[in-house]
Structure 1
C-alpha cells in the first residue's frame, strides 16, 4: 500500500491524525472520537471526527482493534507520522548531562560502550544497543595441527590471551614437521601484527622471494591467515542492556509479542545486520515493525545512529529497541546525541 503524503491531507484530517497518533504513543490505548473532540483547537463534533477516522482507516493509516474501540495508528501510519509530522524534542539538560557523564567517565572505550547501552536503556525505557565491529586480533602465536589427511586445525593465540581455532584444508601429503615449521615461521616473522597486516606482508615476502620456507609451507601460512582475515567485519559485537524494560508499561497484556522480541534479541547476529543498515545514515534511522522481516512477529521498532572515530570513519552503531509505541520525538534526538557523544570520545 502506498502511503498518502501529508501534503495531500487537508488541515482537519492532519490534525485528527496527529492527535490520534500522539495520544496513542502517550497512552498505548486506542483513541476514541470523543477524546479527540476535546483536543484544543479542533472544535469538531464526534460524528465529524468519526468520518475522518474512517477515511484514515480506509487509507491504511489507522486501525480499530475492536469494533467498539477507538482507533490506533498502523505501522504505515506511524511511518507517515515519523517522517512527515513529528516534532523532535531536543534532549533535556539533565538527559545530556547523564549521557555525557556516563560515557566520558567510563575509562576504556569498551567500558564506554557498555555504559552507553545502560544509559540509553534507562532514559528511553527500552533495551539499549551498541554495535561495534569485532576487533581484528593481534597475533602472538600461531600453530597448525593435522586432523586427518587433507584437513587440519589452525590455532591462533592473540596478544590479549584469546585462543581461537579454525578448520582448514591442508596440502595433500604435508608432513607434521612442515606444520610445525609453518607455525613457528608465522609466529616469529609476523607476531605483533594484525592478521590482515601479516597476510599483506607474507604476500609481499613471497613475491619478493624473501621467505625461508618451502612452497608447501608458504601456501599453508597464507591459508591459515586467510581463515581469519575474511571474517572480522562480518562478526560484529553487539552489546544489549535493559531487556527487562521490555516487560514493563503494560507489556504483560501482550506477552506473546514481548516473548518474541526477547527471542529476537537472542539472535544478536540478525540484530547486528539490521543495525548495520544505519551505518550510512547522517542521523538516527528508524525501523518500524514489519518494515523489517526480523520484527514481523513482535512488531518492534529500532532507532539507531552511527558513531565515528577520529578520522570520521563510521565504527559502529548505537540505538534502542522497543515496542512500536515509542516516544519517537524524544528518543530519536536522544539516540542522535548519544552517537555524537561517542564520536567526540573517539576523536
Structure 2
C-alpha cells in the first residue's frame, strides 16, 4: 500500500503520529496509548488514541511489535516523518565551535578528516564516516623492485611522506639494469609532479626525442606510472570512526543485526559506493533502513552530505551511520554544517 502524503492525515492523526515517532526516537521503545494520553500528550481518551493508532497501523505508518505493546514507526513512517513533519534543531554554538576547531587543526588534511569523523561519532552517538577527496599525490620517489620473472613492486613515496606499493607486470626478458634505469628516470626527471602529470611529461619527452631510455625502460616507466595512478584515482578512501557507538543496549538484544551491521562496515568499498550516491545530491541525503541495500539487513540509517571545494566541485562525502532511530532532527543539520565547514577547509 502506498504511503499517504502527510496532508491526507487529520490534524489529530498527525499529532499522535508525531508523538509516537518522537517518543520512539528518544527511547527506542514502542509508545503506548497511556503515554500519549499523559502529560505533554494529546487530550483524548486512551480508547480514542488506540483507534487512531490502529488507523495509522493499517496504512503502514506504525507497527506493533507485540499484541499488548505500544506502536513504533515503520520505515515508511520514518520517511514520512523526516520529509513532512520533522523540525530540525540547528547545531548549538558549542557544537559548531567543536566542529570548526577540529577541522581547522593544523596538519595533513587526512588528519583533519579523521578527527572530523571521530567528532561526528561522539556528537551523534553513531558511526562517523568521511570519504576523503580523491587526489593524485605529487611524486618524490618511485622505486621498481624485482619480485621474479615478469613482476616488480612499484614503491611510491609522495611529498607528504606516504608510501604505497603496487605490483607491475612486464615481459619476463628484460635487459640488466632496466628496472633501476626506469626508477632513476622517474625520480630524477619527474619528481614533484602528480602521477598523471608525470605520465604526460614522459610521453612528451619520448615524442620529442629528449629521453635516452631504451624501449624496455620506457615501457617499464609507463607501466609503473599507469598502474599506480589509475588505481589511486579510482580507489575511494573511507574513514569510519565510532563503530562501538552502534553497540547500545537495544542492539545487543539482537546480536544477528549487530553482526550484520559490523560486517557491512568492514566492507568499506560497499560503504563508499553508497556514499557515492550522496555525491550527486545538492544537500544532505537520508537513507532509512532497507532504502539502501547495504544496510537493509541490519536496519540502519545513513545521513550523508557532499562537501565541495572553492569551485563548487564535490570532492568528498561526510556522514553518520546509526540505527533507524537516529535523532534525525539533530543529526541532519549537524552533518550539513560539517560538510560546509569541510568545504571551507578544502578551499
Tell me if TM exceeds 0.5. Answer: yes
TM normalised by structure 1 equals 0.90
Aligned to 2:185: 185
Question: What CA distance in whole angstroms lies between the structure 1 residues aligned with 2:168 and 2:195?
Answer: 16
What per-residue deviation string (whole Å, max 9, x for no partner) do you get for residues 126-176 of structure 1?
122222035423223334345455444433333344443322331363323
- CA distance in structure 2 between the partners assigned to 1:145 and 1:176 by the alignment: 13
**How many corresponding residue pairs?**
347
Instruction: Output the TM-score relative to the length of structure 2.
Output: 0.90
| Structure 2 equivalent of residue 137 of structure 1 | 137
Alignment of 1:79-228 (within 5 A): 79-171=79-171, 173-228=173-228
Deviates more, 1:60-69 or 1:111-120: 111-120
SS at match of 1:144: strand
Post-superposition CA distance 1:11-47 (Å, at most 9, x none): 2322222121111111111112232234757433333
Distance 1:205 1:307 in 2: 38
Is contact 1:151-1:168 (8 Å) kept? yes
Distance 1:68 1:176, change over 3 A: farther
Deviates most, 60-69 or 250-259: 250-259
Q: Secondary structure at the match of 1:320?
A: strand
Q: Is the 8 A contact 1:133 1:233 kept in 2?
A: no
Q: Is 1:25 the counterpart of 2:25 in the alignment?
A: yes
* Residues 142, 157 of structure 1: 8 Å contact kept: yes
Between the aligned partners of 1:63 and 1:244, the Cα distance in structure 2 is: 28
Which sections of structure 2, spanning at least 5 residues, go unmatched? none
Name the Cα RMSD after superposition.
Answer: 2.4
Distance 1:332 1:249, change over 3 A: farther
Q: Which runs of 5+ in 1 are unaligned?
A: none
Once residues 42 and 338 of structure 1 are traced to their aligned partners in structure 2, the CA distance between those partners, rounded to angstroms, is 37
Show CA shifts across 1:155-203 (max 9, x none). Answer: 3333344443322331363323333322222222212211111112123
Stretch moving more, 46-55 or 311-320: 46-55
Q: Is the 8 A contact 1:305 1:339 kept in 2?
A: yes
1:127–1:322 CA contact under 8 A, matched in 2: yes
Q: Summarize deviations over 1:29-66 as a string: whole Å, max 9, x none.
A: 11122322347574333333333322322322211111
Alignment of 1:190-269 (within 5 A): 190-248=190-248, 250-269=250-269
